């Protein structure tokens, strides 16, 4: 699992690559912390899941904690562009009712940080 980020106005997009499971959930949590600290009120943290191949319940736990942290800062938190198999896992677990999931990163930015859409190059 790897993370890389780009900022587009008030939106911070973090691209996540690989599997998120029990073996690396704590690493995922630690890697998200700097981005959560950078969340600004009215901004958005969007996780680009286009390259995530699997997420387990341990990964969902990390997402839930990150979502709660962003909400405490009055920031949006969303997932964009998850592959069909990953979205199926979100839907089966009903986790798509907890964390905002969008078909693409662009849609997530448009919904949660519309003022940043013009700067988005993806």
State yes or no: pLDDT of 40 exceeds 80: no
* The pLDDT of residue 16: 98
pLDDT band at 88 (very low <50, low <70, confident <90, very high): very high
Nearby residues of 99 by Cβ (< 8 Å), 6 or more positions away: 63, 64, 67, 77, 78, 79, 90
* The pLDDT of residue 112: 94
| Higher-scoring residue by pLDDT: 3, 43 | 3
* Range 37-65 average pLDDT: 92
State yes or no: pLDDT of 39 exceeds 80: no
> Which stretches does DSSP call E strand in the chain?
2-8, 11-20, 44-55, 76-80, 100-102
């Amino acid at each position: 699992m790897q993370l890389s980020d780009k900022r587009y106005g008030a939106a911070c997009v973090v691209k996540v690559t690989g599997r998120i499971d029990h073996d690396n959930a704590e690493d995922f949590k630690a890697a998200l912390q700097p981005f959560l600290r950078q969340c600004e009120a009215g901004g958005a943290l969007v996780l680009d899941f286009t390259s995530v191949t699997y997420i387990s319940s341990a990964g969902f736990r990390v997402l839930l904690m990150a979502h709660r942290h962003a909400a405490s800062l009055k920031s949006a938190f969303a997932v964009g562009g998850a592959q069909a198999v990953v979205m199926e896992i979100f839907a089966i677990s009903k986790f798509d009712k907890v964390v905002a999931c969008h078909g693409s990163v662009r849609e997530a930015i448009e919904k949660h940080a519309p003022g940043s859409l013009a700067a988005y190059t993806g």
